[in-house]
């Protein structure tokens, strides 16, 4: 079996005409499975391809919802490279563009521009570059304004609500019965993209890219009767707010508890949390999630953050072979970024992705039943790394990667300002 790597330089195809019925038929099927989806279109009068589509990302259903929103037009897609395993012909056939997670790959940018400016088709990007973890918006790519400006195309933002609660990443099944709504909005017209600066376009994107699925459920009084609605929510709520202990929480059914101090919470039918044996601290899941991030930020700023574990290392070979297990490595995450080292099948293995090179990290809870995984990429390779002894650490690693990057960028910005002030002083003297 071929062990050649993915050919990421190969130009993506324009979406093939004979796949149109498959796309539209699949859209109709998934729309019915999801209980139907109401899509509202705003500011789209006269909108015609090509245009850039930016979407939030909660589950696979996001893809057919885009197709439904832009019908009868077609779109190419920026898709994570592991999604091509076993179906590369199909991913290429619908206009799929390879992307390795959180890498600065100019080839991907060229492919997107080719789709928009030469193939004259839309291009759909999920700028958070991962599924939402807590039903709220995560950090997005800061260069989208520049991309739109370069392509000279309108920008549309498509935000769906209810899709996350229907199938959260920490407990995808069983599906919850949730009405799904989507708002497809043109936020930059073809005329405006010529006049606005890249920063102004980016600002509009940032403003439009906000959502909260838990608030959607609460405010619209949508009852979630699924008896597993809190199952595995400890994957994101890993720190107990009652005693402060990390990685001590667990969950099952509608209950969440701390094995350290005994605090217990019940999730009601509107996805609110209620403390059973003490005063309420957080009733809104995103508030608890943000509190954890803030704690990690302080840990990073005070120089106390460090993670180390033994991990199983797997490498993505290509679309036919899929993943190959290489062996066990030492995994460290600290102010130097992600570092891996060890003796594996191919010999001595050394790896580092610096803090500055990673604005975030892609994580997978129980990836394909093989365990919790961290996705670490270079421009040439994709590695899935499975911590072997640490319990429930993925969400904290996700926070720490972003907070380390922010701190590093802040330091570099301050250094640049100091250097500029120094040069001005020298010129003045």
Same domain membership, residue 249 and residue 205: no
Same domain membership, residue 180 and residue 99: yes
Beta sheet of 264-267, edge-to-edge order: 249-252, 255-258, 264-267, 273-275
pLDDT band at 29 (very low <50, low <70, confident <90, very high): low
Q: Is residue 418 part of a domain?
A: no
Q: Is residue 427 part of a domain?
A: no
Same domain membership, residue 116 and residue 56: yes
**What would the two tokens of residue 155 be?**
């920008």
Same domain membership, residue 124 and residue 243: no
Q: How many other CB atoms are there within 10 angstroms of residue 268's CB atom?
A: 15
**Strands 249-252 and 122-125, sheet pairing:** unpaired
Residues 50-63: tens digit of each pLDDT: 999 999 998 878 88
pLDDT of residue 62: 87
pLDDT at 115 over 80: yes
Residues 369-403: tens digit of each pLDDT: 999 999 999 999 999 999 999 999 999 999 999 99
**Residues facing 376 on adjacent strands:** 383
Torsion angle of alpha carbons 310, 316, 320, 326, nearest 10°? -40
Same domain membership, residue 290 and residue 338: no
Same domain membership, residue 140 and residue 61: yes
Same domain membership, residue 184 and residue 114: yes
Residues 153-175: tens digit of each pLDDT: 999 999 999 999 999 999 999 99
Same domain membership, residue 137 and residue 37: yes
Give 252 or 88, the one with higher predicted confidence. Answer: 252
Same domain membership, residue 24 and residue 109: yes
Q: Is residue 207 part of a domain?
A: yes
Among the listed ranges 2-6, 81-85, 337-341, 419-423, which one has the minimum average pLDDT value?
Answer: 2-6
pLDDT of residue 429: 60
What CATH number is given to the structural domain containing 405? 2.30.29.30
Fill in the DSSP letter of residue 136: B
Same domain membership, residue 207 and residue 349: no
**What would the two tokens of residue 372 be?**
């919790």
Q: Is residue 2 part of a domain?
A: no
Which residue among 184, 219, 254 closes a domain? 219
Same domain membership, residue 398 and residue 285: no
Cα gap 40→185, rounded to integer Å: 8
pLDDT of residue 30: 60
**List of residues 6+ apart from 192 with CB closer than 8 A:** none
Considering the chain, what is the average pLDDT of its residues? Answer: 92
pLDDT band at 18 (very low <50, low <70, confident <90, very high): confident
Mean pLDDT across 39-49: 95
**What would the two tokens of residue 301 be?**
């700023």
pLDDT band at 39 (very low <50, low <70, confident <90, very high): very high
> Residue 140: how many CA atoms within 13 Å on its side-chain side?
23
Place of tokens 């910005």: 413
Mean pLDDT across 78-102: 88
Same domain membership, residue 312 and residue 285: no
Q: Is residue 139 part of a domain?
A: yes
Q: Is residue 199 part of a domain?
A: yes
Q: Is residue 428 part of a domain?
A: no
pLDDT of residue 185: 98
Cα gap 355→333, rounded to integer Å: 9
State which residues form the domain around 247: 233-301
Mean pLDDT across 241-247: 98
Among the listed ranges 1-15, 92-106, 144-158, which one has the minimum average pLDDT value?
Answer: 1-15
What is the number of structural domains in the chain? 3
Q: Is residue 21 part of a domain?
A: yes
pLDDT of residue 1: 43
């Amino acid at each position: 079996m071929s062990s050649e790597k993915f050919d990421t330089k190969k130009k993506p195809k324009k979406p093939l005409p004979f796949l149109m019925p498959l796309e539209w038929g699949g859209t109709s099927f998934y729309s019915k499975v999801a209980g139907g989806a109401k899509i509202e279109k705003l500011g789209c009068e006269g909108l015609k391809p090509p245009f850039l589509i930016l979407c939030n990302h909660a589950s696979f259903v996001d893809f057919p919802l885009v197709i439904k929103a832009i019908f009868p037009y077609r779109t190419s897609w920026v898709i994570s490279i592991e999604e091509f395993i076993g179906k590369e012909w199909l991913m290429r056939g619908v206009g799929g563009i390879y992307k390795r997670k959180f890498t600065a790959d100019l080839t991907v940018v060229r492919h997107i521009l080719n789709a928009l400016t030469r193939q004259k088709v839309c291009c759909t990007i999920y700028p958070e570059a991962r599924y939402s973890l807590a039903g709220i918006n995560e950090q997005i790519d800061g260069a989208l304004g520049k991309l739109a400006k370069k392509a000279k195309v309108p920008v549309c933002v498509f935000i769906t609500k209810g899709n996350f609660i229907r199938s959260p990443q920490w407990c995808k099944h069983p599906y919850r019965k949730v009405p799904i709504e989507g708002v497809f909005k043109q936020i930059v017209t073809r005329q405006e993209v010529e006049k606005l600066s890249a920063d102004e376009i980016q600002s509009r994107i940032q403003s439009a890219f906000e959502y909260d699925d838990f608030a959607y459920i609460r405010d619209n009084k949508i009852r979630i009767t699924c008896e597993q609605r809190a199952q595995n929510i400890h994957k994101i709520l890993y720190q107990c707010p009652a005693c402060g202990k990390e990685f001590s929480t667990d969950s099952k059914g509608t209950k969440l508890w701390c094995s350290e101090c005994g605090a217990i919470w019940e999730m009601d039918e509107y996805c609110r949390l209620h403390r059973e044996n003490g005063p309420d601290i957080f009733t809104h899941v995103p508030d608890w999630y943000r509190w954890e991030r803030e704690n990690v930020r302080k840990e990073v700023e005070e120089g106390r953050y460090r993670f180390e574990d033994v991990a199983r290392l797997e490498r993505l070979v290509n679309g036919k072979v899929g993943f190959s297990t290489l062996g066990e490595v030492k995994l460290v995450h600290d102010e130097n970024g992600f570092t891996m080292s060890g003796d594996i099948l191919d010999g001595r293995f050394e790896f580092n992705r610096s803090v500055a090179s990673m604005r975030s990290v892609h994580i997978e809870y129980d990836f394909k039943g093989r365990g919790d995984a961290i996705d670490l990429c270079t421009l040439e390779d994709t590695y899935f790394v499975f911590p072997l002894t640490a319990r429930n650490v993925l969400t904290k690693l996700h926070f720490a990667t972003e907070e380390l990057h922010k701190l590093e960028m802040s330091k570099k910005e301050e250094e640049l300002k100091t250097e500029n002030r120094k040069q001005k002083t020298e010129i003045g003297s």
